[in-house]
Chain A
Amino acid sequence: MKNKDMSTQLLFDEPGPKGKRIIRVMNVIAAILIAAVAIVVLVRLYNPPQGENQLSWQLWKPALDLEAWTDFYLPGLGLTLGAALAGIVGSLIFGLVFGILRLLPNPYIRFIAAIIVEFCRAVPVLIMMVFFWRWFAGMGIQHSSYYAVVLALILYNGSVIAELVRSGVGNLPKGQREASLALGLTRTESLMQVEVPQAIFAMMPATVTQLVVALKDTALGSIILYTDLLQESRRLGSMYFNILQTLAVSAVIYFVICWIASRIAEAMPAWMANRTSGPVEEEVVPPIAVMDATNRNQIKAAKTPRPFGGAEPVYPDHFHGSHAHHENWTHHHYIEQQELEHPHDYPQEIRNEIMKTMHLRVKPRGNNPQSGSGDKKSEKGSGEPQK
């Protein structure tokens, strides 16, 4: 398989002379179409129905001159970056702490941490920002909008990073955990000394991608009157009635910063790959909200090479995704057809054995686990060879 990105080189072969000619013609037509759209936009800008010429230097000059930069854009940019930096540092700490709490053996800690993280991921950032802003202002705190922006960013992005930590641990090969348990570490020691350090490297590119989101979300601060870059450019625009121009300038600034951060995130997987045994990807995999599913398993299945022409599907080693707690893994394996039998269908003695090895409490199943479906199990056990 070529190592090109599949999605761009999927549907066509390297074109021959005739294909090249067709592509060239189509390229010219497409370029003309795109240029035509651009010209229509420019004409509309030049001569809007009841407005003034938006391309005139009179409107662009106050948006671009030195005064605009020193009095508006740069102070605004400073505040934007300040809030983003505080939010990023805070959300890294929050994410690491809650990600680890969600993986600890104690079910109560896990449950509480899960509620907090899922709540913070489900509530829109703006709702949190407005709430904190009004709350802090009501308590008479100075710079309430700054603290509101930072706190809302920490809670939301921190909870996403917590999920990244969790899925980073879940995606490590299971041998890592098994080996450390076999070496006599406890579950918590294995988590803290073996799994989390590797997960941090694995999740780093996705974290940078998430930090771009944090940077973008600082612009929400302008709604609660935080004087960030967007707010400053609105002020400048309302002075000279050239809001279109000032917004364009600030849009370019936002874009350049976010674009650079995105490129860094894109380059990172290659740097991180040999520091972890887990998969390294730039995309934020456990995204956005409660009960997230991912299609990473399917991607992995599609990319897994198949011996003998693909006659026999070879399922990927394993993938835990957002079900990154051990109790959920086995079930998830079954759903994803990596295991042919549901682990709950194993005979009770084997379940006891497995649970004991994994330092888990044994929960007896149903009223009489031995007699209930005994013959069914033995049928299955004999029918399908163990893989």
Chain B
Amino acid sequence: MTQNFNEFLQLFQQYDILGAFWVNIELTFWAAVIAVVLGVILIMMRISPISSLRGFAAGYCEFFKNMPLTIIMVFMVLGIFGQLKISFSDTFTINFFWLAVTGLGVYTAAFVCESLRSGINTIPVGQAEASRALGLSFMQSATQIILPQAIRGAVAPLGNTLIALLKNSTVAAAASVATETSSLMSTMIEFHSEHIIGIFLIFAIGYVILIIPIGLLTTFLSNRLAVRR
């Protein structure tokens, strides 16, 4: 029993489990940056008076909401890199990492846009009417009246999107990022199948530990930042 347990503890020395989680955190971070930038641009297009931009943003969201992330990841590696030869770097690992980040970011941008839209729904119409009555232009009222309130109202859905993004970062396995958690878990189980449940629990609890603080912070901030009306 103790020998068995010692073997299990040795897994931590043998494999870089924390490193694998760090890869997922890095994927999440960079994808979140892309997603937030794209998402804000999309929501601006979505509420603009110009109908073609509105249509484009709506189409973008609809497309990515109804498309499996796995297919996007496979497409990034086999399509964008394999067929079209677009690459970020000559080193394979770095290249796959950034392809995965791009795929995740582009996919999550649609969900960020939806979250911000639900944030906009927390603003009473009076706010927009008042800003128009004061003579503010579209850009002025969007950037100074609507978006600041929308972001404060969208903390909860944005936090949930971030949690989903962290969990989705495991799908980078489909984009050949071999150092992230799900690939490492697969390898570890392959070579140490006697510890299969222990290995699963390491990774599962690792995610629980990562996600709980995000959830707590989201709940705290969404109560804290909400505009009391």
Digit string of B63-92 for contact with A (CB within 8 Å is 1, else 0)? 101111111001100110011110000000
Pair B208/A119 contact, Cβ less than 8 Å: yes
Pair B156/A48 contact, Cβ less than 8 Å: no
Interface centre among B51, B83, B204 (most CB of A within 10 A): B83
- Tell me which residues across on chain B come within 8 A of A243, comparing CB atoms: 78-79, 82-83
Asked whether B94 is an interface residue with its Cβ less than 8 Å from the other chain, the reply is no
Pair A7/B53 contact, Cβ less than 8 Å: no
Interface centre among A11, A49, A134, A290 (most CB of B within 10 A): A11
Asked whether A13 is an interface residue with its Cβ less than 8 Å from the other chain, the reply is yes
Pair A254/B67 contact, Cβ less than 8 Å: yes
Pair B181/A127 contact, Cβ less than 8 Å: yes
Pair B68/A122 contact, Cβ less than 8 Å: no
Pair A259/B66 contact, Cβ less than 8 Å: yes
Please choose the segment from B2-10, B31-39, B98-106, B119-127 that sits at the chain A interface, where 4 or more of its residues have CB less than 8 A away: B119-127
- Tell me which residues across on chain A come within 8 A of B154, comparing CB atoms: 295
Asked whether A159 is an interface residue with its Cβ less than 8 Å from the other chain, the reply is no
CA distance A122 to B56 in the complex (A): 33
Pair B182/A15 contact, Cβ less than 8 Å: no
Pair A122/B211 contact, Cβ less than 8 Å: yes
Digit string of A215-250 for contact with B (CB within 8 Å is 1, else 0)? 011111011000000100010010000011001001
- Tell me which residues across on chain B come within 8 A of A138, comparing CB atoms: 193, 196
CA distance A290 to B159 in the complex (A): 11
Bin the interface of chain A by size. Answer: 35 or more
Pair B218/A244 contact, Cβ less than 8 Å: no
Asked whether A104 is an interface residue with its Cβ less than 8 Å from the other chain, the reply is no
Digit string of A129-169 for contact with B (CB within 8 Å is 1, else 0)? 01100110010000000000000000000000000000000
Asked whether A212 is an interface residue with its Cβ less than 8 Å from the other chain, the reply is yes
Asked whether B29 is an interface residue with its Cβ less than 8 Å from the other chain, the reply is no
- Tell me which residues across on chain A come within 8 A of B46, comparing CB atoms: 7-8
Q: Is the interface of A mostly helix, strand, loop or mixed?
A: helix
Q: Determine how close the nearest CB of chain A comes to the CB of B126; give it in whole angstroms.
A: 6
Give which listed residue, A126, A212, A250, contacts B173 with CB less than 8 A.
A126
Q: A243-B82, A302-B121 are in contact. Are A287 and B196 (CB under 8 A)?
A: no
- Tell me which residues across on chain A come within 8 A of B135, comparing CB atoms: none
Pair B84/A293 contact, Cβ less than 8 Å: no
Q: A119-B208, A293-B219 are in contact. Are A48 and B120 (CB under 8 A)?
A: no
Q: Determine how close the nearest CB of chain A comes to the CB of B164; give it in whole angstroms.
A: 5
Pair A11/B62 contact, Cβ less than 8 Å: no
Asked whether A381 is an interface residue with its Cβ less than 8 Å from the other chain, the reply is no
CA distance A222 to B196 in the complex (A): 21
Give which listed residue, B66, B78, B126, B146, contacts A247 with CB less than 8 A.
B78
- Tell me which residues across on chain A come within 8 A of B85, comparing CB atoms: 48-51
Pair B160/A8 contact, Cβ less than 8 Å: no
Q: A127-B207, A295-B222 are in contact. Are A11 and B138 (CB under 8 A)?
A: yes
CA distance A324 to B121 in the complex (A): 23
Interface centre among B75, B155, B167 (most CB of A within 10 A): B167
Digit string of A2-31 for contact with B (CB within 8 Å is 1, else 0)? 000011101111010001000100110011
Asked whether A313 is an interface residue with its Cβ less than 8 Å from the other chain, the reply is yes
Q: Determine how close the nearest CB of chain B comes to the CB of A28; give it in whole angstroms.
A: 8
The A-contacting residues of B in range 162-190, CB under 8 angstroms, are 163-164, 167-168, 170-171, 173-174, 181-182, 185-186, 189-190
Pair B121/A291 contact, Cβ less than 8 Å: no
Give which listed residue, A217, A244, A259, A310, contacts B62 with CB less than 8 A.
A259
Pair B66/A27 contact, Cβ less than 8 Å: no
Give which listed residue, B62, B71, B83, B119, contacts A219 with CB less than 8 A.
B71
Q: List 27 A-B residue pairs with CB atoms under 8 Å apart, sorted by A's residue number.
A: A6-B123, A8-B47, A10-B123, A11-B132, A27-B52, A31-B52, A122-B211, A130-B182, A131-B189, A212-B66, A216-B69, A220-B171, A223-B70, A223-B171, A244-B79, A244-B82, A247-B78, A255-B66, A259-B66, A288-B167, A289-B163, A289-B215, A292-B219, A295-B119, A295-B122, A295-B222, A303-B124
Contacts A6-B125, A251-B75 aside, 5 further interface pairs with beta carbons under 8 A come to A126-B171, A222-B70, A262-B62, A302-B123, A313-B228
